[in-house]
Homo-oligomer: A and B are copies of this chain.
Amino acid sequence: MNKKFIFKIQNQCGRARSGVIETTRGTIRTPIFMPVGTYGSVKSVHPSSLKKLDAEIILGNTFHLHERPGEDFIEEFDSLHGFMRWEKPILTDSGGFQVFSLARLADINDDGVSFKSPVDGSNRFFNPEVAMGIQKKLGSDIAMAFDQCPPGDADRKTIESAMRRTTAWAARCSTYEMKPWQAKFGIFQGGIYEDLRKSHMEEIAALDFDGLAIGGLSVGEPIPDMYRILESVVHLMPHQKPRYLMGVGTPIDIVTGVLNGVDMFDCVMPSRNARNGQLFTDDGVIVISNSRHRNSHEPISHECTCETCSGGFSRGYLAHLFRTKELLYHSLATVHNLHYYLSIVRRAREAIVNGTYEQFATSFIARYENADRSIN
């Protein structure tokens, strides 16, 4: 398979844009949300259900797949696609975020990071070449550069140091030879400092990448700071390349991201919150364990066309499955939440095409935030 990675912007509405990314394994309509498949499965969801959801690209986690089952075994199936039986595009992160948030760090220097495996405590070493080498074996369609991601409360000096290192690492990643079909995205940092964000974005944008990602947001900083950064930086990112906001976020975060010109999103929120009993609707989050749902015949949402809502599964049935810890709860709930997130980006796209994105965003946020919480 040869490389195919073409990004075309089709419509713009203010700073918001819609388009397509054409890849070897299929077309991705932007703005897009990518369901997260950490360990080689989107938790509880069969690949055939993902297809029915019209998911166009999913995400795999390099850090976790390196731990278990290991990239060498996955490569025996040609790529992660063959291992997990998903034929459409996959984006893999670089493991940078997980190394700095999940692992017990032993040492970090300009070459790379030593840490302990969270699974068995043994010694691990990641650097740009290791992270890209793993992603090469995973055979993803979009590979991410290895970056240093500081926490949301890091001070300016820590952020600057992480930026310098991330730039040097990004340069090494940009020249690393991948499988023929693999595109590469760079990641910039800068915390909640606008000047740092802008300068670091320009440094990474100057390197040879197919797309550019905003890292280090939604990592503990106040939400208004995140929105301020999005407003000040996204529109300055290269116009002709996809813009990816990593690991974000709530429905309102996504609508706000698109408003500022973001094209791609991923987040564990729809799948993780489903498992914890939180179901998304335009009127806010339903907590399925609330006693008011126990005797309900209503679907999660009358407006929803997902297999769970249109299949006649009631809130009362879901509440019963959740209460009795029935495994079927997880797939019914996750399918709904992923459908909801995918419907947000589809509706956003439609509003951009129609030139009404700003109205869409305003009314979406107003309804979501002002919903009557006493009924959820």
Tell me the A residues contacting B by CB distance below 8 Å: 39-48, 68-69, 73, 76-77, 82-85, 294-295, 297, 307, 311-314, 316-317, 320-321, 323-324, 326-328, 330-332
User: Which residues on the B side are within 8 Å of A295 (C-beta)?
Assistant: 73, 76
Partner of A297, one of B42, B76, B323: B76
User: Which residues on the B side are within 8 Å of A76 (C-beta)?
Assistant: 295, 297
Closest A-B pairs by Cβ, 3 of them: A44-B327, A41-B328, A69-B320
Could you write out 19 A-B pairs with CB less than 8 Å apart?
A40-B321, A41-B326, A43-B326, A43-B328, A44-B328, A46-B331, A48-B311, A68-B323, A69-B316, A73-B295, A77-B314, A82-B312, A83-B314, A83-B317, A84-B317, A85-B311, A85-B312, A85-B317, A327-B331
* Bound-state Cα–Cα, A84 to B328, Å: 11
Contact assessment for B68 and A324 in the assembled complex, using a CB-CB cutoff below 8 Å:
yes
* Bound-state Cα–Cα, A208 to B83, Å: 56
Contact assessment for A324 and B39 in the assembled complex, using a CB-CB cutoff below 8 Å:
yes
* Bound-state Cα–Cα, A312 to B78, Å: 13
Q: Number of copies of this chain in the oligomer?
A: 2
Q: Give A326's nearest chain B residue, CB to CB.
A: B41
How far is the CB of A9 from the nearest CB of chain B, in Å?
36
**Known contacts A69-B316, A314-B77, A331-B331; A39 and B294 CB within 8 A of each other:** no
Contact assessment for B73 and A321 in the assembled complex, using a CB-CB cutoff below 8 Å:
no
User: Which residues on the B side are within 8 Å of A327 (C-beta)?
Assistant: 41, 43-44, 327, 330-331
Partner of A321, one of B41, B311, B323: B41
New A-B contacts (18) at CB < 8 Å, excluding given A40-B320, A45-B328, A85-B317? A39-B321, A39-B324, A40-B321, A43-B326, A43-B327, A44-B328, A46-B328, A48-B307, A48-B311, A68-B320, A69-B316, A73-B316, A77-B297, A77-B314, A82-B312, A84-B317, A85-B313, A327-B330
How far is the CB of A66 from the nearest CB of chain B, in Å?
13
Q: Give A321's nearest chain B residue, CB to CB.
A: B41
How far is the CB of A241 from the nearest CB of chain B, in Å?
34
How far is the CB of A339 from the nearest CB of chain B, in Å?
14
User: Which residues on the B side are within 8 Å of A326 (C-beta)?
Assistant: 39-41, 43
How far is the CB of A72 from the nearest CB of chain B, in Å?
10
* Bound-state Cα–Cα, A48 to B323, Å: 22
Q: Give A39's nearest chain B residue, CB to CB.
A: B324
Contact assessment for B77 and A320 in the assembled complex, using a CB-CB cutoff below 8 Å:
no
Q: Give A64's nearest chain B residue, CB to CB.
A: B324
User: Which residues on the B side are within 8 Å of A294 (C-beta)?
Assistant: 69
How far is the CB of A291 from the nearest CB of chain B, in Å?
12
User: Which residues on the B side are within 8 Å of A40 (C-beta)?
Assistant: 317, 320-321, 326
User: Which residues on the B side are within 8 Å of A314 (C-beta)?
Assistant: 77, 83
* Bound-state Cα–Cα, A48 to B324, Å: 21
How far is the CB of A3 from the nearest CB of chain B, in Å?
25
Contact assessment for B73 and A39 in the assembled complex, using a CB-CB cutoff below 8 Å:
no
User: Which residues on the B side are within 8 Å of A320 (C-beta)?
Assistant: 39-40, 68-69
* Bound-state Cα–Cα, A307 to B47, Å: 11
How far is the CB of A294 from the nearest CB of chain B, in Å?
7
